[in-house]
A and B are shown apart, each in its own frame.
Chain A
Amino acid sequence: MGGVRTGRLRPALLVIALGVLAIPFVVPTVWMVAASVKPLAEIFEAPPSLWTDSPTLSAYREAFTFQPFARQYFNSVYIAVLVTLITLLVSSLAGYAFARIRFPGANALFLVVLTGMLVPSEVTIVPLFQLFKSAGLINTHWPLILVTALAGPCALATFIMRQFFIALPVELEEAGRLDGLGRPAIWWRICLPLARPALSAVAILTFLASWNLYLEPTVYLTSPDLFTLPQALTRFADSYGGPMWNTQLAAATMTVLPMLIVFVLAQRHFIEGLSHSGLK
């Protein structure tokens, strides 16, 4: 580790400092889980506590009866998985070609991809809404899938893949070429298996991008059956428009916990994947 000698804080002090610093990173999530099993009256008790004597799952039941929450959960998951798979394919093909194959106009075309990475979705959403409206795709999942899997996040993925393949020693491909493999076979059999760190970075970033989409579903979707989780979470309000705190917290907990568990189990891959994302 390069920084071993940069400071001489004593380990105990260091751990205490980090522990204090970690509070805003950890406590909100813990509080969310704790509050979701509290009776409504206890949520705003002062001083705030993480404990309840009478835990209840009624808010969890309420989350499923108030909205088609299971359906919305499925929507979010299947859209994110589909978007991630398409992006992995499209970006690893394009990233490989931009890094390895010489073809006329490659640099100009790569600039086009970079543009796709940089244009904020808020700029394109009004025209896209009109395009999808004339295609009859409003209130379907197609806009969420197509735009995410082929435009913004995918362009970022192509950039990451290109950076990775540029740094990959070309000699690794030569054996395959001597064996008479064509480009597609070299890409599929030699380069992709070597690109695992970059592919996992792409998978993580793309999945999260799709999982967190909020503006797009708000604009494109109107029927609760089609909602995705971020949009559904903001709709837990009673008939007077007052928020249903504990139901919302229960739904938020169900949204957050599976991702957190996957992350904790695979945190090494997450973090190493990102360190290799070429975003440095």
Chain B
Amino acid sequence: MSGTRAAEPAVERAPARSTARTGRASGPAGPAFWTSRRRDVLTGYLFVLPQLVGVAVFVLLPVGMAIWYSLHDWNVFTGKQTFVGGEHYAALADDPQLPKVLLATLLFSGGVVIVNISLGLLIAVLLNRKFRGVTVFRTLFFSPVVVSVVAWTLVWGFLLQDNGGINGLLATVGIDGPNWLKQGDTAMVSVILTQVVRSVGINMVLFLAALQGVPRELYEAARIDGANSRTVFTRITLPMISPTVLLTAIVTIAGALQSFAQIAVLTGGGPGLSTTVLVYYVFQQAFKFNDIGYGSTLALMLLSFVMLLTLLQWQLRRKWVFYED
């Protein structure tokens, strides 16, 4: 729908305004204090209350606590906490492992987003036409989305072993496959592909919906002008669905930054630190080495990455499309 949204930004705004108007004018006048307007405001607060309490208690409070932890040293065995100021933040610069972790995070998130978006677009474009079996293929490409992450990753773990199915298959055509999960570069490729194949179905569906929102007249006009199919794709299709591509790219990076189960099950961060992404490093520091202070500092760094990406998306999106309110 974003295609239409891009073309007619007013569509979403109008109903919101008329709600407010009718909301105020409607209903019989209540008793002296409880006018229908006041009652409406109260209803609004009551409706959002459970959600707000949830976010306050389970998100905002913990983030505040994480900031506090990051400024303290915490001996988990004695329970003693000592204020250390910016020491953990300074430790970020001295941590010899952190550059490797950040590199792995960059490679993984970058790899996932690039492969995911291009593969998702490719499949969506191929499926965006009428032919027999299109529904079957759509179902097949989407199916890994409903497969349990850990089950999916375990199965890929089997297949990627030195004597596993993938190398067995490669051997039949005379290729001696690598020991995928035991070498840094192939381990990274493996976690990226395992992640992408499992989740690209969601982006495919979103792209398909966007493609079908592109007005047909544009294609017809281009055809009359004699444009070939590549020009049509780069000059019409891609610009028209660019808001969707942008949003899915950001959501995909944010998702990749939070991939824990895949890494934990497939490689355990190894070999070495080659697939130790930031979330996994946070988990190790906090729960394996019990370094709550430093773990929280790393967690806040992860949070700042996600927030930066979100800001970036809002800025870019404002450039491309009129966003409601």
Interface residues of A (CB under 8 A from B): 1-9, 11, 14-15, 17-18, 21-22, 24-26, 28-29, 31-32, 35, 43-48, 89-91, 93-94, 96-104, 106-107, 109, 112-113, 115-116, 118-128, 130-131, 146-147, 149-152, 154-155, 158, 166-170, 174, 177, 180, 182-184, 187, 208, 211-212, 214-215, 219, 229-231, 233-234, 245, 248-249, 252, 255-256, 259-260, 262-264, 267, 270-271, 274-275, 278-280
Complex-state Cα separation, A32 to B148, whole angstroms: 13
Nearest to B286 among chain A residues (CB) is A126
18 new A-B contacts at CB < 8 Å, known A7-B129, A116-B59, A155-B59: A2-B212, A6-B219, A6-B237, A14-B131, A18-B127, A31-B155, A97-B48, A98-B48, A107-B325, A118-B307, A124-B66, A126-B292, A152-B59, A252-B151, A262-B146, A264-B143, A280-B2, A280-B247
**What residues of B have a CB within 8 angstroms of the CB of A21 in the complex?**
122-123, 126, 141
A126 near B295: Cβ-Cβ < 8 Å = yes
B1 near A116: Cβ-Cβ < 8 Å = no
State whether A128 and B62 are in contact (beta carbons under 8 Å apart), knowing that A18-B137, A255-B151, A280-B1 are contacts in the complex. yes
In the complex, whether B163 has a CB less than 8 A from a CB of chain A is yes
In the complex, identify which listed stretch (B17-25, B90-98, B104-112) lies at the interface while the others stay far away: B17-25
State whether A124 and B62 are in contact (beta carbons under 8 Å apart), knowing that A208-B145, A274-B202, A280-B206 are contacts in the complex. yes
A180 near B27: Cβ-Cβ < 8 Å = yes
A174 near B22: Cβ-Cβ < 8 Å = yes
Complex-state Cα separation, A256 to B149, whole angstroms: 10
**What residues of B have a CB within 8 angstroms of the CB of A183 in the complex?**
39-40, 43, 47
Q: In the complex, which of the residues A26, A31, A90 has the most CB atoms of chain B within 10 Å of its own CB atom?
A: A90
Task: Tell me the smallest distance from the CB of A241 to a CB of chain B, in Å.
Answer: 13
**What residues of B have a CB within 8 angstroms of the CB of A231 in the complex?**
150
Complex-state Cα separation, A28 to B193, whole angstroms: 13
B299 near A122: Cβ-Cβ < 8 Å = yes
The 8 A CB mask of B54-77 against A (1 = contact, 0 = none) is 111111111101100100000000
* Contact residue among B41, B132, B171, B209 (Cβ-Cβ distance under 8 Å from A103): B41
A177 near B27: Cβ-Cβ < 8 Å = yes
Complex-state Cα separation, A143 to B105, whole angstroms: 28
Complex-state Cα separation, A125 to B20, whole angstroms: 39
Nearest to B285 among chain A residues (CB) is A126
**What residues of B have a CB within 8 angstroms of the CB of A158 in the complex?**
51
Interface residues of B (CB under 8 A from A): 1-2, 11-12, 15-16, 18-20, 22-24, 26-28, 39-41, 43-45, 47-48, 50-63, 65-66, 69, 122-123, 125-133, 135, 137-152, 154-156, 158-159, 163-165, 168-169, 171-172, 193, 197, 201-202, 205-206, 208-216, 219-220, 223, 229, 232-233, 237, 243-244, 247-248, 251, 254, 257-258, 260-261, 264-265, 279, 282-283, 286-287, 292, 295-296, 299-300, 302-303, 306-307, 310, 324-325
**What residues of A have a CB within 8 angstroms of the CB of B122 in the complex?**
21
* Contact residue among A44, A124, A187 (Cβ-Cβ distance under 8 Å from B164): A44
State whether A2 and B219 are in contact (beta carbons under 8 Å apart), knowing that A90-B50, A166-B16 are contacts in the complex. yes
Task: Tell me the smallest distance from the CB of B221 to a CB of chain A, in Å.
Answer: 11
A119 near B59: Cβ-Cβ < 8 Å = yes
Q: Is the interface of B mostly helix, strand, loop or mixed?
A: helix
A168 near B54: Cβ-Cβ < 8 Å = no
B142 near A270: Cβ-Cβ < 8 Å = yes
* Contact residue among A184, A248, A264 (Cβ-Cβ distance under 8 Å from B43): A184
9 A-B interface contacts by CB (under 8 A): A97-B43, A102-B20, A103-B41, A109-B48, A120-B279, A123-B302, A150-B53, A249-B155, A275-B209
Nearest to A46 among chain B residues (CB) is B168
**What residues of B have a CB within 8 angstroms of the CB of A279 in the complex?**
206, 247-248, 251
**What residues of A have a CB within 8 angstroms of the CB of B132 in the complex?**
11
State whether A25 and B62 are in contact (beta carbons under 8 Å apart), knowing that A123-B299, A214-B149, A275-B209 are contacts in the complex. no
